[in-house]
Structure 1
Amino acid sequence: MASLGQIIFTSMIILIILFSTIIILILAIAFAGPLSEAQSSNRSPIANLGEDELLSCYLHTTSEKNTFSQVSVSWEKTSLSGVVYDYYSGVADFTDQNSQFKGRTQFFPETLVQGNASLLLRSVRQSDEGEYTCYVSSAEGDGQVSINLRTAAFTAPTFTVSNGTLTAEANRWFPKPNVTWLDYFGKVLQGSTSFMQNTAGISSIVSTLKPFNISDTYTLRIQNDLVTAVSEATVMGSDVKKNTIFTFNSASSLPRSYLSIMTYVLCICYLT
Structure 2
Amino acid sequence: MIVIIILLVGALALIIGLSVAGNSTTNDVTTVNAVGRIGEDVILSCTFTPDVKLSSNVLWEKVGDTGVVYRYENGKVSLTDQNANFKGRTSLFLNQLSAGNASLYMNNVQMKDAGSYKCTVTNSKGKGENKLSLNVGALTALTVTNISQTTLRCSSPSWYPKPTVSWLDVVSGSELTNSTTTTTYVPGISSMVEVISDFKEAKQNVQYRCVIKNILARAEGDAVLTATGLKTQFRLEVLSSAQMMSPSRLLLCLLTLIFHLGLVTL
Scaled by the length of structure 1, the TM-score of the pair is: 0.73
Deviation of 1:250 (Å):
4.8
Cross-structure match for 2:210: 220
Cα-Cα RMSD: 2.7
Deviation of 1:147 (Å):
0.9
Deviation of 1:58 (Å):
0.9
| Cα distance in 2, alignment partners of residues 45 and 158 from structure 1 | 26
% identical aligned pairs: 32
**1:205 and 1:109, CA in 2 relative to 1: closer, same or farther beyond 3 A?**
same
Work out whether residues 47 and 53 of structure 1, in 8 Å CA contact, stay in contact via their aligned partners in 2: yes
| Cα distance in 2, alignment partners of residues 206 and 81 from structure 1 | 41
Match of 2:145 among 143, 146, 160: 160
Kindly provide the amino acid, as one letter, of the partner of residue 175 in structure 1.
P
Work out whether residues 26 and 128 of structure 2, in 8 Å CA contact, stay in contact via their aligned partners in 1: no
| Cα distance in 1, alignment partners of residues 65 and 76 from structure 2 | 23
Cross-structure match for 2:223: 233
Scaled by the length of structure 2, the TM-score of the pair is: 0.74
Cross-structure match for 1:70: 55
Cross-structure match for 1:36: 27
Work out whether residues 140 and 236 of structure 2, in 8 Å CA contact, stay in contact via their aligned partners in 1: no
Work out whether residues 44 and 105 of structure 2, in 8 Å CA contact, stay in contact via their aligned partners in 1: yes
Q: How does 1:98-177 map to 2 (within 5 A)?
A: 98-164=83-149, 165-177=151-163
Kindly provide the amino acid, as one letter, of the partner of residue 134 in structure 1.
C
| Cα distance in 2, alignment partners of residues 230 and 199 from structure 1 | 24
| Cα distance in 1, alignment partners of residues 189 and 135 from structure 2 | 20
| Cα distance in 2, alignment partners of residues 113 and 250 from structure 1 | 26
| Cα distance in 1, alignment partners of residues 209 and 113 from structure 2 | 33
Indicate yes or no: 2:173 matched with 1:186.
Answer: yes
Match of 2:235 among 225, 240, 244: 244
**1:224 and 1:68, CA in 2 relative to 1: closer, same or farther beyond 3 A?**
farther
Structure 1's unaligned 5+ residue stretches are 1-25, 255-272
SS in 2 for 1:113: helix
Work out whether residues 224 and 231 of structure 2, in 8 Å CA contact, stay in contact via their aligned partners in 1: yes
**1:163 and 1:76, CA in 2 relative to 1: closer, same or farther beyond 3 A?**
same
**1:112 and 1:250, CA in 2 relative to 1: closer, same or farther beyond 3 A?**
closer
Deviation of 1:188 (Å):
1.2
Cross-structure match for 2:263: none
Indicate yes or no: 2:74 matched with 1:83.
Answer: no
Higher RCO, 1 vs 2 (CA within 8 Å, ≥6 residues apart): 2
Deviation of 1:238 (Å):
3.2
| Cα distance in 1, alignment partners of residues 194 and 210 from structure 2 | 15
Deviation of 1:68 (Å):
5.9
**1:101 and 1:235, CA in 2 relative to 1: closer, same or farther beyond 3 A?**
farther
Per-residue displacement from partner, 1:212-260 (whole Å, max 9, x unpaired)?
Answer: 1334321111122333323333445434321214152656959xxxxxx
Deviation of 1:150 (Å):
1.2
| Cα distance in 2, alignment partners of residues 226 and 235 from structure 1 | 30
Cross-structure match for 2:190: 200
Structure 2's unaligned 5+ residue stretches are 1-15, 246-266
